[in-house]
Structure 1
Amino acid sequence: MRIARLALPAFLSLPMLGLAPAQAAALVPHRAVYDLALEQAFDRSGITGISGRMVYEFNGSACDGYTVTFRFVTQIETADSARMTDQQTTTYEDGDGESFSFVTRSFIDEALQKELKGTARLSAGGNPAATVVSIEKPETQELQLEATQFPTQHLLELIRKAEEGDSFYETTLFDGSEDANKVMTTTVIIGKEAPVPANDPEAEAIAPLSDDAFWPVDIAYFDMESDEGEELPTYRISFKLHENGVTRDLVMDYGDFSMTGRLVDLSLFDAPENCAE
């Protein structure tokens, strides 16, 4: 399952080419905690219940680069059994968006099932330009994929588009998820900016942002390598996005089932000092 798409937050793909450092510094370092719950499940999924918690921590700046630590723990129930999944991811992206490193460990019932470790870099010297991925674990491998962008740049692009009033655009993303062997096409729909209502279900958690407006966003992710014509997205996420990069009120749709992520705790950290000129 493509569980940790949010960077990612969102997040993980929340995540601009040619962006000035002063603009990039608008992303606030923070730690966000979400309670997860099953929204709906089709019979073919076999899932009868999901509960869990997601913790997302974002740090860094355009000068120092951006670090994300992400943990996604779920208790998945079926008619016959229950299992606990635990995905732990750490990524680093340089401030220019030219290199990206990632480590993901996936556990089922506390037993390590998979460890994925690697780096990716944009190579402008070739014709055409490419994304070169070097995987260390589970086995050494080097791949050359289409030129793209990494998660923080994807997020910055989204915020810029929202501020400019764009409501729909298409772009691409590499985030190191699954087997780190694909560039995804993303289609992004941005709704109108709105204030936080007084009766917002997440009002307590977002108290520091209660005076800030947000954009409703929907992102669909498609496999660029698919040969099918009218393909369905492999994953879809909708959320509320604040100008500083905080995301909340998540709905994560995996096709056979979907789950919600409700923000229950938010800690804002001091922003790093501005880049030296």
Structure 2
Amino acid sequence: MRLKRFIEVAAVGAVSVIASPVLAQPVLTPHRAVYDIVLEKASDRSGITSISGRMVYEFDGSACEGYTVTFRFVSQIETADLSRITDQQTTTYEGAEGETFDFVTKSYVDQQLDREVKGSARRMNGATIIDVSKPEEAEIRLEETHFPTQHLVELIEKAKAGETFYETSLFDGSEDADRIMTTTVIIGRPETSPKPDEEFPAAKAIGTSTYWPVSVAYFDLSDVEGEEVPDYRIDFKLHENGITRDLVMDYGEFSMKGRLVDLTIFDRTPDCPN
């Protein structure tokens, strides 16, 4: 599952070489966010009776030094026949200019390593070149695209400019690190919390700042036969500083809700004056 992608939309994720010429690039706040995850609904076909878990997302860096993201999602999935604990751990680094992206993801099932994907990507001469070192060495050439922080920055810029719908693409190293996802983004009207939000006790870290309701659908167009339907969709509230909350992750046969329960803002001094 690509569950990290909801905040990388860029953080997950997600976030700039395509900055609007009339708006300053958004300043993304280094932070650690903790979300409690529960099953919202599931079809009989999915076989899922319960999902519970916790997701921790840590975003650090700046437009001068680049951005580091560490992500961990631990969940317990219940079906009529079994109970399984999954643990996904991801670390990424995206260069300041959005031209390079390093990634490593380890997936555990019942505390046993199930899969590790590691590599790096770079944008070069109108293409995206991926060098995969695990599970097997490979070089993959794809069309030019965004990396996660670029993707997030673009989203915030378009929200600030009043745009409500657009389409773009994303590479985040998920799955086998061999594909680009097409994303369609719907941005609602900006809203302002009348008081520190009751969603989590540490709401004062966000205060009464403006946010946008956002819905992002992800399509793998390399594997499409017939009608194009999204692999999954993520709805959330996005703040101008890149913090997200009130999540719904819809995978078709089941969906999950994510509630922000703790937020730590890192006290960082920018490493460049402008």
> TM-score when scaled to structure 2?
0.94
Aligned partner of 1:139 in structure 2 is 136
CA offsets, 1:93-144, max 9 Å, x none? 00110000000000000000001100000012xxxx1100000000100100
Aligned partner of 1:66 in structure 2 is 67
Give aligned-pair identity as a percent: 59
1:208 and 1:239, CA in 2 relative to 1: closer, same or farther beyond 3 A? same
Aligned partner of 1:80 in structure 2 is 81
Aligned partner of 1:242 in structure 2 is 239
Structure 2 residue matching 1:160: 3-state secondary structure: helix
Aligned partner of 2:2 in structure 1 is 2
Structure 2 residue matching 1:39: 3-state secondary structure: strand
Please report how far the alpha carbon of residue 6 of structure 1 lies from its aligned counterpart in structure 2 after TM superposition: 2.7
The runs of 5 or more residues in structure 2 that have no matched partner are none
Please report how far the alpha carbon of residue 231 of structure 1 lies from its aligned counterpart in structure 2 after TM superposition: 1.2
- Matched residue type, 1:91: T
Structure 2 residue matching 1:272: 3-state secondary structure: coil
Structure 1 residue matching 2:192: 3-state secondary structure: coil
Match of 1:221 among 190, 198, 218: 218
Q: How do 1:4-43 residues align onto structure 2 when only pairs under 5 Å count? A: 4-8=4-8, 10-19=10-19, 23-24=24-25, 26-43=27-44
Aligned partner of 1:187 in structure 2 is 184
Q: How do 1:103-118 residues align onto structure 2 when only pairs under 5 Å count? A: 103-118=104-119
CA offsets, 1:192-235, max 9 Å, x none? 11111448441523222122011000000001213424211001
The runs of 5 or more residues in structure 1 that have no matched partner are none
- Distance in 2 (CA, whole Å) between partners of 1:110 and 1:24 is 41
- 8 A contact 1:73–1:87 mirrored in 2: yes
1:123 equivalent in alignment to 2:124: yes
- 8 A contact 1:2–1:178 mirrored in 2: yes
The alignment of Structure 1 onto Structure 2 pairs a total of residues equal to 272
- Distance in 2 (CA, whole Å) between partners of 1:10 and 1:148 is 13
1:197 and 1:228, CA in 2 relative to 1: closer, same or farther beyond 3 A? farther
**Range with greater deviation from structure 2 (114-123 or 205-214):** 205-214
- Matched residue type, 1:6: F
- Distance in 1 (CA, whole Å) between partners of 2:13 and 2:47 is 28
- 8 A contact 1:10–1:247 mirrored in 2: no
Please report how far the alpha carbon of residue 11 of structure 1 lies from its aligned counterpart in structure 2 after TM superposition: 1.5
- 8 A contact 2:31–2:264 mirrored in 1: yes
Please report how far the alpha carbon of residue 10 of structure 1 lies from its aligned counterpart in structure 2 after TM superposition: 3.2
Please report how far the alpha carbon of residue 276 of structure 1 lies from its aligned counterpart in structure 2 after TM superposition: 4.6
Please report how far the alpha carbon of residue 9 of structure 1 lies from its aligned counterpart in structure 2 after TM superposition: 5.3
Structure 2 residue matching 1:5: 3-state secondary structure: helix
Aligned partner of 1:268 in structure 2 is 265
1:8 and 1:235, CA in 2 relative to 1: closer, same or farther beyond 3 A? same
Structure 1 residue matching 2:150: 3-state secondary structure: helix
1:49 equivalent in alignment to 2:50: yes
> TM-score when scaled to structure 1?
0.93
1:222 and 1:36, CA in 2 relative to 1: closer, same or farther beyond 3 A? same
